[in-house]
């Protein structure tokens, strides 16, 4: 029984840590700021509230569906979980992403412009400015979550693999928990905006603390990689 609890505890820690790392990424938060900036200047606050709610729901739905699909495919194709070799590959990818976060995630030292290709960044920026309906806000949320995939997909892959190893009654709750933690910064931003902070205030804070956010995110990627090596690779021997 103690061994089972230990195994489940490790998987829950991996899911939780993966979600925390996901939450440290900035694409969805930056696009939500753009949506706030454009919407507050054109619509009443109630309209903006609905747009923001649908944006967050779109982002959450894509993350939830992705983790669920990954878990289903792993369970179906492997009938267990990914091999130690696959875990080693994922740990290596996480280490590489930590370096990319530290050195390439932000394009400029003076702004929070991200690594996204110019065409993608321009499209997201234009969609945020032109969003008028709840459906458009929902699709924008899904778009930004998808645009972050080069950094977030391996996190969802790691989490989905751990979901498969949990008892069935825990799996759905663990996916919901991952999704909630991953989008938690969006709720925090919404809370501060509703409490009276302005988009300009939030953006100034992001620019001022960019180096801290970058260091924290890269360190979290590194921590997750080390945790997987210690408990899923070396611990499996």
Contact 26, 183 (CB under 8 A): no
Q: d(Cα 160, Cα 53) in Å, to the nearest integer?
A: 26
Quote the pLDDT of residue 1: 40
Which pLDDT value is given to residue 4? 46
Number of H helices, E strands in the chain: 11, 0
Residue 41 per-residue DSSP state: T
- Give the separation between CA 24 and CA 182, rounded to whole angstroms: 8
Q: Which two tokens stand for residue 93?
A: 């990818």
CA atoms of 154 and 183, how far apart (whole Å): 17
Question: Which segments in the chain show pLDDT lower than 50?
Answer: 1-5
| Residue ranges making up the domain that contains 157 | 2-233
pTM of structure: 0.92
Q: Which of 172, 219, 173, 167 is nearest to 7 (CA)?
A: 167
Alpha-carbon dihedral sign for residues 154, 156, 157, 162 = positive
Cβ pair 183, 56 in contact under 8 A: yes
Burial 46-63 (b: 16+ CB within 10 A, else e): eebeebbebbbbbbbebb
What is the C-alpha to C-alpha distance for residues 134 and 55, in angstroms, rounded to an integer?
A: 8
Q: Is 106 helix (H, G, I), strand (E, B) or coil?
A: strand
- pLDDT tens digits, 18-29: 999 999 999 999
Q: How far is CA 187 from CA 52, 64, 106, 204, in A?
A: 10, 16, 23, 19
Kindly report the CA angle at 17 between 65 and 162, in degrees rounded to 5?
Answer: 55
Question: How many structural domains are present in the chain?
Answer: 1
- Which element (helix H / strand E) includes 3? helix 2-23
Quickly count: other Cβ atoms within 10 Å of residue 132's Cβ: 13
Separation between Cα atoms, residue 219 and residue 101, nearest integer Å: 9
Looking at residue 232, what is its pLDDT?
A: 83
C-alpha closest to that of 174 among 17, 26, 2? 17
Tokens linked to 166: 């949990």
**What phi and psi values does residue 182 have, to the nearest 5 degrees?**
-60, -35
């Amino acid at each position: 029984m103690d061994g089972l609890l230990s195994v489940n505890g490790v998987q829950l820690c991996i899911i939780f840590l993966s979600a925390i790392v996901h939450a440290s990424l900035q694409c969805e938060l930056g696009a939500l700021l753009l949506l706030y900036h454009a919407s507050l200047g054109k619509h009443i606050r109630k309209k903006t509230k609905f747009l923001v709610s649908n944006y967050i729901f779109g982002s959450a739905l894509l993350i939830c569906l992705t983790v669920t699909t990954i878990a289903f495919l792993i369970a179906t194709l492997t009938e267990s979980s990914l091999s130690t070799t696959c875990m080693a590959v994922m740990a290596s990818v996480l280490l590489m992403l930590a370096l990319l976060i530290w050195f390439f995630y932000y394009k400029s030292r003076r702004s929070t412009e991200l690594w996204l290709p110019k065409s993608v960044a321009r499209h997201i920026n234009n969609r945020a400015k032109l969003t008028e309906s709840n459906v458009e806000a929902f699709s924008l949320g899904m778009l930004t979550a998808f645009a972050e995939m080069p950094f977030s997909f391996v996190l969802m892959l790691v989490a989905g693999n751990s979901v498969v190893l949990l008892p069935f009654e825990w799996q759905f709750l663990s996916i919901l928990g991952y999704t909630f933690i991953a989008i938690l910064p969006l709720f925090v931003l919404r809370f501060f905006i509703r409490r009276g902070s302005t988009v300009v205030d939030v953006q100034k804070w992001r620019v001022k603390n960019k180096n801290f956010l970058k260091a924290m995110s890269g360190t979290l990627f590194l921590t997750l990689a080390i945790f997987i090596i210690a408990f899923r690779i070396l611990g499996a021997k």
